[in-house]
Amino acid sequence: MSLSHKNIHLRGVNFQVHDTPFFQEFWNNFHKWEPDTFDIFDRFLNNQYSYLDIGAWIGPTVLYGVNRAKHVYAIEPDPIAYKELLKNIQLNPGISSNVTCISEALDDKSDNIKLFKRIEMGDSSSSIIPTSSDEYHTVTALTIEDLVLKYNFTDINFIKMDIEAGEYFLIPALNEYLKRIRPTLFLSIHPPFLQEALALQTSIKIKTKFDSYHSSQLSLTERLVENLDFYKFIYDIHGNLVSKDHLLNLNDFGMYLFSDEKW
């Protein structure tokens, strides 16, 4: 039996998605979801440039962003989410040629890595670090250099990253790339998930990202901030300038924009 489709209308952008039961509630309430994200996309995406969507999930930002950008490279290693992302993109032939879906994760080396579930795979909370579960899928990861070579993108001016506390490890791995091309970076930061991961660290018996580091929330946050300190401006989602001290003392979820461009 074929799945029904849902028509989505947002800010003059129209697209279709599969009305898959698991994701039905999300799409039913999509018009309320993260309006500040779409304010930022409207302000910073440019149809002369492509953008990189790291943590694309089932495609809400991709399906909107492709209407504002030249091309979207959508990274989603969670196998359930990736399958749904691919179906949703293919459902929109008018934009599908402008989206490249990528099932590999990004990491500091190209290899197989563990992608941990939080509650359920596909629910947008899987991560390269364990937060509440030590159950994982093995996925392929590429360095940013290998990803660029494989997918041949050279015109990125914006990166959105939402990877459920994986940012504490991925940002240092992207430092040289970010410093070289200076894209505006729209970053979701997840201190509560990091705190859970640090608490879980002592009780699990498998190797994780933490094994290579002397880890505390402060030390990992300092490392993240230091690896982004070349940007001229840090903004919150409302366009207010933010200090590095604010980020170092952050204990709740937050979304921030790192840019050389004035808001």
Cα-flanking dihedrals φ and ψ of residue 61, to 5°? -75, -35
- Tokens standing for residue 203: 């009780």
Q: How many residues does the chain have?
A: 263
- Tokens standing for residue 132: 């509440």
Domains annotated for the chain, with CATH where assigned, are 34-259 (3.40.50.150)
Give this prediction's pTM: 0.95
Q: What angle do CA 6, 58, 170 make, to 5 degrees?
A: 160
CA-wise closest residue to 77 among 132, 121, 33: 121
Residue 206: per-residue pLDDT: 65
Task: Kindly give the confidence (pLDDT) of every residue in the chain, 263 residues in length, as a single tens digit, with 9 standing for 90 and above.
Answer: 456 999 999 999 999 999 999 999 999 999 999 999 999 999 999 999 999 999 999 999 999 999 999 999 999 999 999 999 999 999 999 999 999 999 999 999 999 999 999 999 999 999 999 988 889 999 999 999 999 999 999 999 999 999 999 999 999 999 999 999 999 999 999 999 999 988 887 666 666 766 665 578 889 999 999 999 999 999 999 999 999 999 999 999 999 999 999 99
- Tokens standing for residue 100: 């490249």
Distance separating alpha carbons of residues 70 and 47, to the nearest angstrom: 4
State how far the alpha carbon of 77 is from the alpha carbons of 72, 106, 190, in Å: 16, 9, 19
Q: What's the pLDDT tens digit per position in 183-240?
A: 999 999 999 999 998 888 766 666 676 666 557 888 999 999 999 999 999 999 999 9
How many H helices and E strands in the chain? 10, 12
